[in-house]
Structure 1
Amino acid sequence: MESQVDLPIPAKLVQVFATEGVRYRGAFGGRGSAKTRTFALMSAVKAYQAAESGLSGVILCAREYMNSLEESSMEEIKQAIRSVPWLDDYFDIGEKYIRTKNRRVGYVFCGLRHNLDSIKSKARILVAWVDEAESVSATAWKKLRPTVREKGSEIWVTWNPEKDGSATDKLFRKNPPQSSMIVEMNYGDNPWFPDVLEEERQEDLRNLDYADYAWIWEGAYLENSDKQVLANRYVVQDFASDLWQKADRLLFGADFGFAKDPSTLLRMFILDNSLYIEYEAYGTGVELDDMWKFYAGKEEARPKQLEEWKVTDEAKYPGIPQSRKWPIKADNSRPETISHIKSQGFNIASAQKWQGSVEDGITCLRGFKQIVIHTRCKETAKEARLYSYKTDRITGEVLPVIEDKHNHCWDAARYGLDGYIKQKSKGAIFF
């Protein structure tokens, strides 16, 4: 084999396997992302490299549950090897085994739940690949990691997230080990995403609750719909760019970010008692002097402002059409910010707040027949799924208290609906 070869792997996973000196390599995300197929292929490449270097050992392929080889990654690995001629020539593939023809490296398949203790007796583990790792317990990880102890040995992990805070999620997504390269992979990262799956994805986007769709295809957690503020009230879909012209007006709402919080601007309209959200601007660390870029983009820049436009701003600040033309309602807690943005040529003013205005705003949002979020508004759709009530840490009971996170787009939506939100109590309070 030549020293360099072309391998059919997604570009996003190149960095995972090209980075040297890494013990933990992994990928998480939704279906159809090619992560399992790629890790299967690269396990064969790793076996080839080890055997050619004179090493002997095993590639351990594990899952939490595996009662038979039919439930293992064996068939995936066989297909991956057969897809690359020089690998196919190098391996001896039988009905119940896979090994290099020189017999230096072979595959071992096992379930962690019932066979974990026996793993210690296996031959030298060169790579331990744990697929479908979402359900792997903390105990299993504690036992497996020190078992893979050979010099230069690696642990690979692939999983479809389900529970926020699962053992695998905590270990490899929330706080990954220092020597690790973990990426998120979804269908859009797979250049060979098949047409048959695209049909399935589109069908799910049309018919499933968006939270379920996001879990299947976008690597999101499987959320408890009872705690979601906007559960069963929104859909994510395309609609005509001129549909807003049938509405009475456009609505713009803005929320200001501080520190790590993002700034947001939404363009919306109301039609047939449905709220349509068709454009979003979403950015962290946007400087006050750059707010005109963030809101308007290059197309609606003033002549003098164009002198400040940089080549790198093109992708960073796409802007929202007609943001200069229509009134913008914004968070009234920063009047100096509103004043500065107004000086940049925007018709922006404070939205009213009062004690209970957040709850009243949510009542208004849930009162629409439907909230339709355009597919280009990815952060708004994401927050719609994550905007939640708190739950009791012990019992899991949903509490009547809204979590102060994943709400930046929806705060902007509430501000944009200023005047449409009915106040339950009397007297506006500005704070």
Structure 2
Amino acid sequence: MMIEKEVNPRFEDFIFNWDYKNYFLVGGYGSSKSYHIATKIILKLLEEKRTALVVREVYDTIRDSCYSLLEEIIIDLKIDDRVRCVTSPMQIRFPNGSKIIFKGMDKPAKLKSINNVSLIWIEECSEVKYAGFKELLGRLRHPTLKLHMILSTNPVSKSNWCYKHFFNDTKNGIHILDDKDLYKKKTIVIKDTYYHHSTADDNLFLPESYIEQLEELKVYDPDLYRIARKGQFGINGKRVLPQFEVWPHHKVITSIEKIKRCIKRVGMDFGFETSYNALIRMAIDDDEKILYIYWEYYKNQMTDDKTAIEIAEFKETKELIKADSAEPKTIRFYRQEGFNITGAKKFPGSRLQNTKKVKRFRKIVCSSNCTNTINELEELTFAENKDGELIEDEFNIDPHTFSAIWYGLDGYEVSDLKEEKYADEIYAKGKGVKKNYNTYNRKGGSVF
């Protein structure tokens, strides 16, 4: 059967390439990646008898996306007289016995009845949970046919599982591919994974007006511009700590040594199974309002006795550790072991107040040695409610190093820029009031 179909040159090799197990496609809006994936699958199922599974996180979103796209291409190819698109249950059946079935990860129990699936397409894979992805890997099996999994997504935060799995997971020391290399080369193969990057420029069927709309995002929404126009991973949402910087370790230590009035602090957050024990050493330049983070301990699934052995140096230095006061039993254990440790104050609203405190530093400098702190804080963003409004004390991840910093800063106040300006104005008026930023009383509105 001869089929003619005009495709974008950027996707021509991809459509006919079946040499690899995994195909990971990432791109901006309107790049036509989903269209060409659907075309690729249809051509493959016409060629040989297979069962393909198409998945999205929410089943109800499939009918108006993947299913309708596949149906559109089947009609465009003029094979709808032989390939049947069934709506209940959603299936696409081919004359040679091939079929496409559709499932949502919000109904995982229904995956267990699937057999002999040799081809899976996960659309918007970044929305699927990592546990769901691993479940799908187990569903991909056939006694004779070569197995293939196609994953497609718009770029998301680098904290998302799909970036960590296919590119870099700094927390676990995994480096597979620098995403910047993919943006340059456009197509890269590493072992059994075919990587493909595309943007609206690769879609020759797009009207110029659509690309102009994407370009306009550069002015009023830079984050969305990076995602939609450039098709690049990065930070999605409002950063919690935009003043966060990473310096080489030796530069951080040298800078700390030059601080005239250096304040040293240590904070600790407790964790075990999925959360982490995070212990952070900090130095504060009170004059310049710079927070330096220069040492970290970060581990989970460690009992207190084992952790005590690994951080035994703190018994020798007698450094004061401010820790999570919600764990009094744990704090008592460390005290008995000889650690100088006490609980930090916690109160209703303390998460928000601690977040605002850290944000008031003019600069937060982290040593390049503190890889877990970098991983959690460099791209930390605020969570949003269902209306898209920021939740100022919730984040896109559970940042244990951030909690440790909160506790370590217990009792220290970072003067607000507005407070400093107010104090300067009073002093400049010659009222005889000595300027003292650390003793500014916000509630009373006076300097004393």
TM-score by length of 2: 0.49
Give the Cα separation in 2 of the matches to 1:126 and 1:261. 42
Structure-2 change in CA distance of 1:336 and 1:364 (3 Å): same
Query: Does residue 123 in structure 1 map to residue 134 in structure 2?
Result: no
Give the Cα separation in 2 of the matches to 1:261 and 1:190. 23
- 1:280 is matched with which residue: 283, 296, 301? 296
Q: What displacement does 1:289 show? A: 1.4
CA contact (8 A) 1:252 1:416 kept: yes
**2:245 partner SS:** strand
CA contact (8 A) 2:267 2:279 kept: yes
Higher relative contact order (CA 8 A, sep 6+): 1
Q: What displacement does 1:333 show? A: 2.2
**2:311 partner SS:** helix
Structure showing greater radius of gyration is 2
Structure-2 change in CA distance of 1:293 and 1:356 (3 Å): same
CA contact (8 A) 1:249 1:269 kept: yes
Q: What displacement does 1:412 show? A: 0.7
Q: 1:252 corresponds to which letter in structure 2?
A: V
Structure-2 change in CA distance of 1:341 and 1:417 (3 Å): same
1:21-40 matches, cutoff 5 A = none
What does residue 407 of structure 1 align with?
399
What does residue 238 of structure 1 align with?
248
Give the Cα separation in 1 of the matches to 2:13 and 2:53. 12
Structure-2 change in CA distance of 1:169 and 1:67 (3 Å): farther
1:182-218 CA-partner distances (Å, limit 9, x unpaired): 9813258567979989x99xxxxxxxxxx99x99xxx
Query: Does residue 70 in structure 1 map to residue 9 in structure 2?
Result: yes
Give aligned-pair identity as a percent: 21
Q: What displacement does 1:291 show? A: 2.4
What does residue 111 of structure 1 align with?
35
Give the Cα separation in 2 of the matches to 1:342 and 1:125. 67
What does residue 147 of structure 1 align with?
99
1:3-41 CA-partner distances (Å, limit 9, x unpaired): xxxxxxxxxxxxxxxxxxxxxxxxxxxxxxxxxxxxxxx
Q: What displacement does 1:252 show? A: 0.8
CA contact (8 A) 1:265 1:295 kept: no
Q: 2:244 corresponds to which letter in structure 1?
A: Y
Aligned residues: CA RMSD: 5.0
Q: What displacement does 1:276 show? A: 1.4
Give the Cα separation in 2 of the matches to 1:126 and 1:324. 66
Structure-2 change in CA distance of 1:405 and 1:117 (3 Å): closer
Give the Cα separation in 2 of the matches to 1:175 and 1:322. 44
Q: What displacement does 1:68 show? A: 2.6
Which sections of structure 1, spanning at least 5 residues, go unmatched?
Answer: 1-65, 82-108, 131-136, 159-165, 201-210, 301-320, 427-431
Structure-2 change in CA distance of 1:410 and 1:220 (3 Å): farther
Structure-2 change in CA distance of 1:263 and 1:138 (3 Å): farther
Structure-2 change in CA distance of 1:117 and 1:76 (3 Å): closer
CA contact (8 A) 2:52 2:99 kept: no
Which sections of structure 2, spanning at least 5 residues, go unmatched?
Answer: 21-32, 55-60, 68-89, 102-113, 139-148, 150-161, 186-222, 415-440
Q: What displacement does 1:261 show? A: 2.4
Query: Does residue 254 in structure 1 map to residue 254 in structure 2?
Result: no
Structure-2 change in CA distance of 1:397 and 1:418 (3 Å): closer
Structure-2 change in CA distance of 1:390 and 1:345 (3 Å): same
Q: 2:119 corresponds to which letter in structure 1?
A: I
**2:249 partner SS:** coil
What does residue 397 of structure 1 align with?
389
Give the Cα separation in 2 of the matches to 1:372 and 1:249. 15
Structure-2 change in CA distance of 1:196 and 1:261 (3 Å): closer
**1:236 partner SS:** strand
1:27-426 matches, cutoff 5 A = 68=7, 70-72=9-11, 74=13, 111-112=35-36, 115=39, 118-119=42-43, 122-124=46-48, 138-139=62-63, 140=66, 147=99, 154-155=118-119, 167-171=124-128, 173-176=130-133, 178=135, 180=137, 184-186=165-167, 222-225=235-238, 228-230=239-241, 232-240=242-250, 242-243=253-254, 244-247=256-259, 248-257=262-271, 259-271=273-285, 272-296=288-312, 300=313, 324-385=317-378, 387-393=380-386, 395-403=387-395, 406-421=398-413
